[in-house]
Amino acid sequence: MADEGEEKNLRLMARWRQTGRVLVEALPFILKYDQKTIVVKYGGNAMTGSGGTDDFSQDIVLMKQTGIDPVVVHGGGPQIGAMLKKLDIQSRFIDGLRVTDEAAVEVVEMVLTGSINKHIVTAINAAGGRAVGLSGKDGNMVVARKLALTKTDPVSGKVTVEDLGFVGEPDAINPEILYTMMKSEIIPVIAPIGVGPKGETYNINADTVAGAVAGAVKAERLVLLTDVEGVLDKDKKLIAHLTVSEARALIQDGTISGGMIPKISTAIEAVEAGVNAAVILDGRIPHVLLLELFTEHGAGTLITAG
């Protein structure tokens, strides 16, 4: 029995020493990001990971407690689709963008600013944080314009404009309300709904809102959490780091394709707007934010100016 007790104590000591090493290794990164703003886009697909919202919320609270100012922007495409189907409202997509008529935009706003936003806020608060839910309408934070989607016929060369309804893009970001919150202990959680010049409600892609907000507050980093591990090369291996010019070249030669193109485009625009770096991460990995920010190797694809 004495031997068993001694072995148990040795195992506990080994675990404590390992914990100590992890904390010491994280220290330079904690100092690096102290009092810096990090904008995190939390995608609807990333919410379905093994740790789910609990792991994400714990990461966000720990970031705040180490001196980082996290700003969360969330999506909700799968949840919007499910609610529209439940209400028997047909969804139509053009180039991956949901056509949003007057009936649909009411549902989009209800799902994003209601159930999803409050679910994330509640989870962060339960983890020990002080989160407050917002939409881009609050304080005119995201002033939007109608998104003009142009398509060119490859044969005739004729250019047509597709009407996506109440789908918008940021025209101006007014970050004053965010600065007020970040000076306190509050963690802003933003639903990607914008307001038009006449008070119209616009559904905006969450990646786009996150990138625009990150650029407006000159964030240290934009983190795009999604359901893939990052940018893969032609051999399907993760590319850990890309410059803006390298990323553009990979889009040009087809290595970056499909749904990854708008994410990389958002990352590029954010970096060019003054964000120090942008990163694509697999949000399904437990505590992936901590792995990316507080370890040497990172966890996804980092995009920088040069």
Query: What's the pLDDT tens digit per position in 270-292?
Result: 999 999 999 999 888 888 898 88
Element containing residue 157 per DSSP (H, E)? none
pLDDT digits (tens, 9 = 90+) for 69-98: 999 999 988 888 889 889 988 878 877 778
Confidence of residue 157 (pLDDT cuts 50, 70, 90): confident
- Residue 46 confidence class, pLDDT cut points 50, 70, 90: low
Of 30-39, 153-162, 258-267, which range is least confident? 153-162
| Residue carrying the six token digits 């965010």 | 178
The predicted model scores a pTM of: 0.87
User: What's the whole-number average pLDDT of the chain?
Assistant: 88
Asked if residue 130 has pLDDT above 60, the reply is yes
- pLDDT given for residue 13 in this prediction: 73
